Structure 1
Amino acid sequence: MSEALLKARDLSIAFGGVKAVQGVSLTIKAGTLTALVGPNGAGKTTLFGLLSGFLTPTAGRIEFQQRDITGLPPFSIARLGLARTFQIVQPFGAQTVRENIAVGAHLRQADRREALREAEEVALRTNLQEQLDKPAADLTVCGRKRLELARALATRPRLLLLDEVLAGLNPSEIDEVIPVVRQIADSGVTVLMIEHVMRAVMGLAEHVWVLAQGRLIAEGTPRDVTSDPVVIEAYLGHGVAARLAATQRGNMQ
C-alpha cells in the first residue's frame, strides 16, 4: 500500500462569522492523482490555502511526510515538497517564460544558470518549450495556466496542489492540458486537483472528495460521487436528486 503523504485532521477556519472550512479530514497517499470538487463557495481554495500554509487553521492539524506542518509559512512547506498553483494566475509579465519558471527552480537551486537550465526541462514537461523566450505577458490564457503549472513543478514537489488549472480554457485547450497533468502524475508527483471540469475529473482522478459549505459530504471513485444524491443536491439545489430519480423511474416503466 502507498504511504500517507499528507494527512489533514479536523481542519477548520472561519472569517468573521463565516465558517469557510469545518472539521475537514482527508489523507493523500503517495503516487496518487485525486480531486477535490464542490460548488462555488464550498471552501475548496480555502482548504488549499490551509494545506499550503497561506492560511492558518483555527483548529486541526496537518501532517506532511509524517511531520507536523500546521502553521508553517508557505516557503517552508514548499521546501518540504508541497507546492500549489493559484486559480488566478499572475506571472511576472515583463519576464520571459524561462525566467518565470526559473523563479520556482530557485527554491532549491541558487545558481542562476542551473535554474534557467532546469526551467528548460520543466518547459518540455508542460509543452512550453516553444514559448521560452516569449514575455509572459504575451501568453494566451492557456499558456499562462501552463506557466503557473510549470513554475510550481520547478520547485520539485512531492505533492502538487492544482487549483482549477483548466478554468477558463476552451475544449481543445482542456484536451491539451489534461495529458500534461497525467504525465506529471505518471512521473511520480502526487497530485491533488480542484476542478470543475467533470470530464477531466472522471478521466484523471482515482479518488474524489466533495466539499460543500465547508464540509466534506462525500468521497469515493468519480463514478460513485457523481451518482450520489447528496452530491447532486449540493451542486444543483434542493429537490433535484429526487426529481432525477423520479425521471429515471419513469423512463424505466
Structure 2
Amino acid sequence: MTETDDQNEPTLYLIPTPIGNLEDISLRAIRILQAVDALACEDTRHTRKIFERHELTSPPIIFACHAHNEDHAVGRILSLLRDGKSVGLTSDAGAPGISDPGQRAAAAAIENGYRVEALPGPSAVITALTVSGLPAPAFSFLGFLPRRPGRQRKVFKAFAETPSALVFFESPFRVGKILKIALECLGNRQGAVCIELTKKFENIHRDRLEELAEKFADRKIKGEVTIVIGPPDRKDDPVEEEPGPYGKLP
C-alpha cells in the first residue's frame, strides 16, 4: 500500500473501471483490487472480466451492489468495515457514484466514521469532453436526462444562459429526439455525439446541433452514447479593438 493506502485501517475504496477498453486501468487500481478483503460490484460478471484480462487474484468475498439491492449491499459493506475489513466498490464502467451505484455506500461509510478513498481513473465524461474538440473552460454534467420531453426541455432551458459546455449520457434509441429538443432550447450550438468511447467501434460525430439532429433522426445506434454540447457562441460578444500605433482611439 502507498502512504494513503493504510492496510490496517478498514477502508472503502471506490475503484473506477474501464469504460470500454480493458487496458484503461491504473496500476494502483489493479493492486487494490487484489488487496481488498471484499469487493462489491454493480455486476460481478463484468468485474470478473477485468480479473481475467489482467490475470488477477480475486478477493475472498465478492458480492453485488446495484440499484435493486443497494440497501442490503450497503448494510453488508458496513458490516465488513465493522469487522475491520477493507472493501472495494466498482461499477460496470467509470467511477462509482457517477450515474452508477456507489454514492450511498460512500455516504454511509463516512457517516459511520470509516475511511473512504476514491481512486482516479476512466471517465466517459472527461473522455467525451476532450475528444469533442469543443471549448470547455467550464462544463455541467447532467447525467441521464429525464425520459419525458417536457422535463428535458426544462433541464436545457435551465442551462440555456450558462456559459459552459453540457455533457450527458443518453439511450441509443433517443439520440435524434434529444438533439432536436436541445436545438429548440439552446440554439444551433456545436455538439459531439460520442458512441462506444474507447471501444473497437468508437465513433465520434462532430457538427452543429441542427446537422446532428438530422443525421440521427432515423439512425439506429448500438452501444453507449455520451453527448457534448458546446457553450453558447461568442460571436455576439463585443470585439476588443486592437490598439493602433498611437494607442486606442477615443
Question: Normalising to structure 1: TM-score of the pair?
Answer: 0.27
Question: Could you say which structure has the larger radius of gyration?
Answer: 2
Question: Normalising to structure 2: TM-score of the pair?
Answer: 0.27
Higher fraction of strand: 1
